[in-house]
């Protein structure tokens, strides 16, 4: 065998070995049994079982080496429109249903980390603006409620974000998103056990619409994709 042929073979072998030393590429996104089981845990939550409609589960997926999406379940907990039930929707109804949803979370082991109640600016296109006789003449800023929560099941942390809104004499809604760690995440992303808000202490649970914006607790968000950012980079995990 000539020296030139040997040199070519050595170069080809070096290229093959160099390719093997890098991170392996995925032929397609990977979903593990662990990710499927964690989605099922979220689907078994009482608040999800009671959801009105539009329950959308998505198991965690390894997208590429060092990058993954976390398992999630999104659901419509409540919705109402002015033409349903023969009369206009009431923001108080949406607020009451939001408080009831918070109660379901508390009763099933969730820790409420944060709660917020936002009201439109007075005199603007918000709650104080008179309704237009023409439904298409303009929109009104909604009253908004939100909370974040976490829970542990068999050593795995789960996260929830509930958002609600209501327009006076208009529609109201409550939506919920839950997320779980990917199989490549640490199983417990809330190992520090963030403090919870006591029952009946939040602006959501207190009767009546608040007169000004209220923010309670420390909201922490579990990002859809991992890995988690460096500690202190932002309030997401």
Segments in the chain below pLDDT 70: 1-28, 52, 83-89, 122-140, 228-235
**End-to-end CA gap in the chain:** 59
3 belongs to a structural domain: no
- Residue 140's pLDDT is what? 58
In sequence order, the β-bridge partners of residue 112 are 149
How far apart CA 212 and CA 192 sit, in angstroms, is 32
195 belongs to a structural domain: yes
For residue 33, the SS3 value is: helix
237 belongs to a structural domain: no
For residue 19, the SS3 value is: helix
The predicted-structure confidence for 36-58, as pLDDT tens digits, reads as follows: 999 999 999 999 999 867 899 99
Task: Check: CB of residue 205 under 8 Å from CB of residue 199.
Answer: yes
pTM listed for this prediction: 0.78
163 belongs to a structural domain: yes
10 belongs to a structural domain: no
- Residue 97's pLDDT is what? 95
| Residue 198 C-alpha from the chain's centroid | 22
**Residues in Cβ contact with 103 at an 8 Å cutoff, skipping those fewer than 6 apart:** 205
- Count the domains in the chain: 1
Query: Which of 203, 233, 205, 204 minimizes the C-alpha distance to 221?
Result: 233
Task: Check: CB of residue 204 under 8 Å from CB of residue 115.
Answer: yes
CB atoms within 10 A of CB 70: 25
Structural domain that includes position 81? 24-129+137-226
The predicted-structure confidence for 206-218, as pLDDT tens digits, reads as follows: 999 999 999 999 9
69 belongs to a structural domain: yes
How far apart CA 55 and CA 176 sit, in angstroms, is 9
4 belongs to a structural domain: no
154 belongs to a structural domain: yes
């Amino acid at each position: 065998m000539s020296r030139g042929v040997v040199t070519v073979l050595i170069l080809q072998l070096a290229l093959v070995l160099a390719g093997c030393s890098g991170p392996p590429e995925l032929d397609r996104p990977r979903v593990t049994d662990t990710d499927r089981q964690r989605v099922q845990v979220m689907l078994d939550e009482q608040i999800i079982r009671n959801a009105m409609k539009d329950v959308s589960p998505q198991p965690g997926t390894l997208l590429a080496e060092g990058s993954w999406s976390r398992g999630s379940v999104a659901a419509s907990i409540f919705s109402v429109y002015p033409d349903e039930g023969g009369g206009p929707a009431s923001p108080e109804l949406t607020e009451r249903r939001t408080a009831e949803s918070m109660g379901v979370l508390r009763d099933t082991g969730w820790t409420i980390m944060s709660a917020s109640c936002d009201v439109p600016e007075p005199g603007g296109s918000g709650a104080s603006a008179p309704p237009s006789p023409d439904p298409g003449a303009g929109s009104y800023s909604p009253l908004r409620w939100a909370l974040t929560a976490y829970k542990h099941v068999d050593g795995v942390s789960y996260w929830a974000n509930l958002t609600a809104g209501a327009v006076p004499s208009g529609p109201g809604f409550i939506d919920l998103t839950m997320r779980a760690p990917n199989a490549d995440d640490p199983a417990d992303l809330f190992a520090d056990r963030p403090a919870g808000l006591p029952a009946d202490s939040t602006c959501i649970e207190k009767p009546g619409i608040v007169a000004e914006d209220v923010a309670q607790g420390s909201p922490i968000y579990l990002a859809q994709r991992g890995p988690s950012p460096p500690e202190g980079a932002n309030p997401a995990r």
